[in-house]
Structure 1
């Protein structure tokens, strides 16, 4: 769920309780908690406030109208009107949302901060490539997020001991939501287009992502939830100004990436012994856009909050135009989905039809 991706708690959860005693540390899963923790890597689709702590960054959402439908109408740094997919997935498994990594390390010495309940490294503007945020250089690219996770891994080892940490991390979910900013980078930069064909670029994205997944696995991860990019060419910002049609180039590259990602994960599974869910955001979001009424939407082209034609000419700010009914809109701003869209996507991700998740749903992944 970057850009252009996506609530209800299940009526009953299994009561899952286990105790872990290692070097005097006692760790218990609470009632209704299906996994020990969720560790989140990604971009603005799942950023829950890390960019708020990047002091000179302009890639932020900690101001209205963002958060207008979040509890207490607070702008938390989420790029949307309310909760995002990371929030909804946490609810599904009975956990609080994994907090921003930078919020934890800003409050205490790293060695004293606790990360056993999960943490989010996601950063608005981040990409698989370090240069995907070249315009601002104010995001945390994926390789740096993994660097942070390396420190978290060390911290968890100190708290739980080696065996305890391995057990904890092997049962936790590792959510990966990234790639859209790299695609946006390609479709707007002639230099990249001259250097790589779209297929070569998609393959390079996957190759770089594979390297980071291997690093995360080497630090204890076993269960990956990998979210593919959506039809990025259908974001309000990418639609043709006069006709409103989607940008075919962006969508085509997203499909190439999706197929290359699927192949890579199929090969990585036996090589590393991991388990994973690969979610087809492209197909579900395309279905929503093409059949909006079936999902409760009436507006698929215009953003709810923004400026200019279709609210697609600038970001959501306190002085931007704001739609009265966010539930009607697929898109919140010129790049990001609304809370309603995030909720639908997360429902499909967690326990939806097999056409969207391969080789299994998140619910099935947890049960392994």
Structure 2
């Protein structure tokens, strides 16, 4: 199909509506390894990669794709919900003849990268990632490409109806209490306030490039992931890490309310991952889990002494586990998170859920 025909079809869709079941024109994804769909595969220096077994064992084709999961992640399920194909990794679209080809961007792009943070430098341990600053820069190139090929009005129409999903902050929190310099000289409250303030700046930049509908994902109690439990002899959660996550979520919610007050045409749906994940941990059988402490894939105590590598063992029933590896949820958990964010009640997703935001 030639580019001219693709653009004509796009303009038709923008004017008269999408295919049956398609709720938005596109989904643009920003974040870390929770929603990375393969960008890090293209970063030569990065140690944060999942392009080897046993990752992807439950993905279509049973092959690793760069997703830090046994199967699909939350970004995949969001695309499914709105009737779109998964947003492809940006770095896979800018090589060779595809370089900044607007037709590749029409249904969305993922800029998410394992190890990425709101602050630059969260990837010190992993050597290389696409921090949020770089992700937003890449989106600006996509925006300009769409404007050039569709025209300003059509590109604006497409983007203002699209979803902009943002799932980031975990690596910043880990960095505060880790060996990096990120937290030096700042109290926990000062640190999370600066996280929220920096994120606000990036959201305003996205707004300047026609982003209007934001799916904002709060941090879970990441002190309960297997890597953190393994550091405690009692295998309990890290209270310090969880407290920092909780404080950041409070700062994030306050920032979003302020942003919407300032920019009247912005809509957002905030998902309270923290409370929902706590429910999974405290009442696992209610959600179909039998194991919420140990990783499914790994080696050693809680399968968390050695990461999910080809030499690692993995559990036979991934649906029973909350965690796939040291840090990341299983496909089953990711699906439940996304289902709840999309159609969930006000106590989990507010001021509206994603479906309600799309309808606004």
TM-score, length basis structure 2 = 0.94
Q: How many residues align?
A: 348
Task: State the partner residue of 2:23.
Answer: 34
Structural mapping, 1:266-281, within 5 Å = 266-273=257-264, 274-281=266-273
Deviation at 1:193, TM superposition (A): 4.5
Moved more, 44-53 or 24-33: 24-33
Task: State the partner residue of 1:227.
Answer: 217
Task: State the partner residue of 2:242.
Answer: 251
Deviation at 1:321, TM superposition (A): 1.5
Runs of 4 or more off by more than 2 Å in structure 1?
21-27, 107-114, 189-194
Is 1:358 aligned to residue 342 of structure 2?
Answer: no
SS of structure 2 residue aligned to 1:130: coil
Deviation at 1:192, TM superposition (A): 4.5
- Structure 1 residues 155 and 197 mapped into 2: Cα distance closer, same or farther (>3 Å)? same
Which structure ranks higher in relative contact order (CA pairs < 8 Å, sequence separation ≥ 6)?
1
State the distance in 2 between where 1:299 and 1:119 align. Answer: 34
- Listed one character per residue, the Cα deviations across residues 92-135 of structure 1 (whole Å, up to 9, x for unaligned) are 11111000001111243534342111000000010000111122
- Structure 1 residues 22 and 49 mapped into 2: Cα distance closer, same or farther (>3 Å)? closer
Task: State the partner residue of 1:68.
Answer: 57
Deviation at 1:57, TM superposition (A): 1.7
| Runs (5+) with no aligned partner, structure 2 | 1-5
TM-score, length basis structure 1 = 0.92
- Listed one character per residue, the Cα deviations across residues 41-97 of structure 1 (whole Å, up to 9, x for unaligned) are 000000000000112322100000000111111100000100000000111111110
- Listed one character per residue, the Cα deviations across residues 181-212 of structure 1 (whole Å, up to 9, x for unaligned) are 00000111375444111111100100110110
Q: Is the 8 A contact 2:292 2:322 kept in 1?
A: yes
Deviation at 1:308, TM superposition (A): 1.2
Deviation at 1:264, TM superposition (A): 0.4
Moved more, 103-112 or 50-59: 103-112
- Structure 1 residues 38 and 192 mapped into 2: Cα distance closer, same or farther (>3 Å)? closer
Task: State the partner residue of 2:77.
Answer: 88
State the distance in 2 between where 1:121 and 1:220 align. Answer: 17
Is 1:200 aligned to residue 190 of structure 2?
Answer: yes
Structural mapping, 1:340-359, within 5 Å = 340-359=332-351
State the distance in 1 between where 2:163 and 2:96 align. Answer: 25
| Runs (5+) with no aligned partner, structure 1 | 1-20
Given candidates 147, 153, 166, the residue that maps to 1:163 is: 153
SS of structure 1 residue aligned to 2:216: strand
SS of structure 1 residue aligned to 2:95: helix
State the distance in 2 between where 1:326 and 1:25 align. Answer: 39
Deviation at 1:27, TM superposition (A): 3.9
